[in-house]
Structure 1
Amino acid sequence: MIDLWKGSANTWDCDEMGHMNVRFYVRMAFEGIGVLAGQCHLSHAFKPESPSTLIPLEQHIRFMREVHPGRPLSMKGCLLDVSETGATLYQELVHADGVPAASFRTRLAHVGSDSLKPFAWSDRSRDALTTLIGEAPAATAPRGLDMSKAAASSESITREHAIDEGVQVIGLGMVPPGDCDAFGRMHPHMFIGRVSDSVPNLLYDWRKKIAASVPGSEMGAAVLENRIIYRAWPTAGDLFEIRTAMASAQEKTHSLVHWMLDPVSGKPWMTSEVVAVTFDLKSRKAMATPPALLDELATIAPGNLYL
């Protein structure tokens, strides 16, 4: 694997849980993708005048150890496969002691920067990418999500379906220019960021009840895994809404499916499935959910949404 990024988390990258917010993991990963592009004769890929660029189609993230402000971090990666117009990249964000903070498996497409249509690698880029093919360690493999499950077609993801299922809106807003990249499209890390901002509207009171059942605890939350399907790219001024339904619930973990939709067209910007825990901010451990509250989650996050 090659070095793709080095740095640390800033205090302002961390949220009310005292650890780095999920959006900044993804931002670091995409800076690493830029470094990879430079290693493969594509240093122009993220500049506004570039004829081609790289976009994510799908991404799996596994969060394994908290990141706190000021601690040294580094990222390495390799290619898992390379096709005529795409590649799958493995990245590992690592603490100074060698313990992984997170792993990323991202299916990338090389596309025309305006059309977003597949764009064949040049011979020298493909040759360089091929030399970086390696193997991801088993210890960071997907754990709580079934990666063999095929994602639904974008045509089947509709606002009308979510409304019919009684799935509530937990996030709503407009994409500002500052959230967009050199091509005017929303940064990838803002998809997961907007979901992170919206989840308290759904789960804050429910998690408070869980914390109340554990004497001496302080309520928090943490994401363990996330599988994201990037479906379309909003630009400045586009609107979005986030609708969320429960996928499953166990004593210590719960899974949610999020749909980020265009409320104007009814079509999806992104869908994701998340495994999360209610987190004790004092012990920094997951808290068990009382059985009655497991049943309650189905009532506050109703409906059938699919990835």
Structure 2
Amino acid sequence: MIDLWKGSANTWDCDEMGHMNVRIYLEKAFEGLGTLAAHCHMSHVYQAGSPSTLIPLEQHIRFMREVHPGRPLHMRGCVLDVDETQVTVYQELIHGDGTPAAAFRTKLVHASSDALKPFPWSDRTKKALTELIGEPPASTAPRGIDFSVNPLPDEAVTLSHADAQGVQMIGQGMVSPQHCDVFGRMKPAWFIGRVSDSVPNLLYDWRQKVAGAIEGSRMGAAVLENRIIFRSWPKAGDLFQVRTSLARAEEKIHSLVHWMLDPVTGKPWMTSEAVAVTFDQETRKTIATPPALMEELAEIAPGDLSI
């Protein structure tokens, strides 16, 4: 493990639930990846004019302990595996007392910054990456997402399929220039950020009912895990829609599949699966879902989408 980042959460990094928003976790993770890249002789890959960059293909995030404003945080990480053009990096965001806040497993490809065409590492970068191969702690391993499910091919993820399934559109908008990187592509953190902004359109009223099952509780929500498949890279001015269906509902957790699509072409920008809970903002404890509300969730999030 090497140190990758150190800082804290600002008040404006936190949302209405009183904890750091999921988007900010990704922002910090990608800052940490910049440090790792520099450690491996690739300090240029996130700079304007660079001939090459690192493009995320897939990312798994496990959120383990809430981050509150002003608390000290640091990040460390290692390499899980590396081949001729791809690397999988492990990162853990850690509280000041040593307990993990979140863990990230990110598969990236070394590619040209313009055409995104993969090409091999230099010999010294490959050597440096290999020297960073390590073993992450078992306690931060993926827990609630089935990795035996392979991502769909891009051609199976379409707006027409979502329409045919009766899947709700829970969010839409346009990519802003300030949400793009130095290459003009939307930053990875904003994929999950836009989904986070959209989910209340689907679940706000339902979660209020769940919280109402316990007298005096104040509704909150949190994501426990997220698996993201990055498929294409929108630029400023591109449009998006978020379509969402229920994957499963249990007493303590529910899982949703999100498709972020281009409404102009019907093709995918991103797909993801998120495992989430409803909790009491006062006690910070998970609220069990009554059986009738589990059935209602299936009604308000119809369709059979897969990641």
Query: Normalising by structure 2, what TM-score?
Result: 0.99
Question: 1:221 matched to which residue of 2?
Answer: 221
Deviations 1:59-85, CA, capped at 9 Å, x for gaps: 000000000000000000000001100
Give the superposition deviation at 1:122.
0.5
1:154-165, aligned counterparts within 5 Å?
A: 154-165=154-165
Unaligned runs of 5+ in 2: none
Q: Distance in 1 between matches of 2:119 and 2:187?
A: 20
For residues 244-295 of structure 1, what are the alpha-carbon distances to aligned partners after superposition, in whole Å with 9 as ceiling and x for unaligned? 0000000010000000000000000000001000111011011000100000
Aligned equivalents of 1:46, 1:119: Cα separation in 2: 16
Which amino acid in the other structure matches residue 303 of structure 2?
G
The match for 2:239 is 239
Amino acid aligned to 2:183: F
Q: Map 1:165-244 onto structure 2 (within 5 A).
A: 165-244=165-244
Partner of 1:46: 46
Shift of 1:93: 0.2
Q: CA deviation at 1:99?
A: 0.3
Query: d(CA) in 1 for partners of 2:130 and 2:72?
Result: 30
Equivalent in the alignment of 1:33: 33
Q: 1:279 matched to which residue of 2? A: 279
Residue 96 of structure 1 corresponds to 96
Alignment match, 1:289: 289
How many aligned residue pairs are there? 307
Amino acid corresponding to residue 45 of structure 1 in structure 2: V
Report SS of the residue matched to 1:286.
coil
Residue in 2 that maps onto 1:250: 250
Structure 2 CA distance for aligned equivalents of residues 101 and 38 of structure 1:
24
Q: 10-19 or 143-152: which moved more?
A: 143-152
- Where does residue 10 of structure 1 map in the other structure? 10
Secondary structure of the corresponding residue to residue 75 of structure 1:
strand
**Unmatched segments (≥5 aa) in structure 1:** none
Alpha-carbon deviation of 1:136? 1.1
Q: What amino acid does structure 2 have at the position aligned with 1:186?
A: M
Query: Cα deviation per residue 1:130-153 (whole Å; 9 max; x = unaligned)?
Result: 110001111000000011221111
Q: Which position in structure 2 is the counterpart of 1:261?
A: 261
Give the distance between the partners of 1:289 and 1:81, measured in 2 at CA: 39
Residue identity over aligned pairs, in percent, reads 70
Distance in 2, matches of 1:214 and 1:76, equals: 39
Q: Distance in 1 between matches of 2:194 and 2:146?
A: 24
Q: Distance in 1 between matches of 2:239 and 2:121?
A: 33
1:110 aligns to what? Answer: 110
Partners of 2:63 and 2:28 in 1: CA distance: 14
> In 1, Cα distance between the equivalents of 2:80 and 2:115?
26
| Superposed displacement of residue 216, structure 1 | 1.3
Q: How far apart are the structure 2 equivalents of 1:91 and 1:205?
A: 35
Cα distance per residue 1:156-213 (max 9 Å; x no partner): 1000000000001001000010000000000000000000000000000000001111
Name the SS for the 2:227 alignment partner. Answer: strand
**In structure 1, what residue type is equivalent to 2:208?**
K
TM-score (norm 1): 0.99
CA RMSD in angstroms comes to: 0.5
Instruction: Give 1:119 shift.
Output: 1.7
The alpha carbon displacement at 1:239 in A equals: 0.2
Which string of whole-angstrom CA distances, capped at 9 and with x for unpartnered residues, describes residues 110-144 of structure 1? 00000111021001111111110001111000000
